[in-house]
Amino acid sequence: MSVDHYENFPVASWLCPRRLRPPITAIYWFARTADDIADEGDAPAQSRLDDLAAFRDDLHAIAHGQMPSPRWRPIFAPLAREMEAHQLPVSPLADLLSAFEQDVRHTRDGATYATQDELLDYCRRSANPVGRLLLHLYHIDNATALAESDHICTALQLANFWQDLSVDIPRGRHYLPDDACAAHAVTRASLSVLHSAPNTLKLIAEQVHFARAELKKGLHLPKRVPGRAGFELRLVAQGGLAILDRIAAAGHDTLRARPTLGKTDLPRLLWRALTM
pLDDT tens-place string over residues 185-218: 999 999 999 999 999 999 999 999 999 999 999 9
Count of other CB atoms within 10 angstroms of residue 41: 8
Q: Kindly report, residue by residue over 32-51, the tens digit of the pLDDT.
A: 999 999 988 889 999 999 99
What is the rounded distance in angstroms from the CA atom of residue 251 to the CA atom of residue 253?
5
Instruction: Please report, to the nearest 10 degrees, the dihedral formed by the alpha carbons of residues 8, 119, 101, 33 taken in order.
Output: 0
| pLDDT greater than 80 at residue 9 | no
Question: Among 3.30.1360.120, 1.10.600.10, 3.20.20.140, 1.20.1250.20, what is the CATH number of 112-276?
Answer: 1.10.600.10
On whether the CB atoms of residues 180 and 119 are closer than 8 A, the answer is: no
Summarize pLDDT for 108-120 with one digit per residue, the tens: 877 889 999 999 9
Reduced DSSP (H G I as helix, E B as strand, rest coil) percent helix, strand, coil of the chain, to 5: 70, 0, 30
User: Distance (Å, rounded) from C-alpha 205 to C-alpha 200?
Assistant: 9
Q: Answer yes or no: are the C-beta atoms of 33 and 72 closer than 8 Å.
A: yes
Secondary structure (DSSP) of 57-117: HHHHHHHTTPPPPGGGHHHHHHHHHHHHHHT--SHHHHHHHHHHHHHHHHHHHT----SHH
pLDDT, tens digit, for every residue of 122-181?
Answer: 999 999 999 999 999 999 999 999 999 999 999 999 999 999 999 999 988 899 999 999
Q: Would you say the pTM of this structure is higher than 0.85?
A: yes
What is the pLDDT, as a whole number, of residue 110?
79
The residue count for the chain: 276
Query: Measuring CA to CA, which residue among 131, 24, 142 is closest to residue 85?
Result: 24
pLDDT at 2 over 70: no
- Rg of the chain in Å (alpha carbons): 19
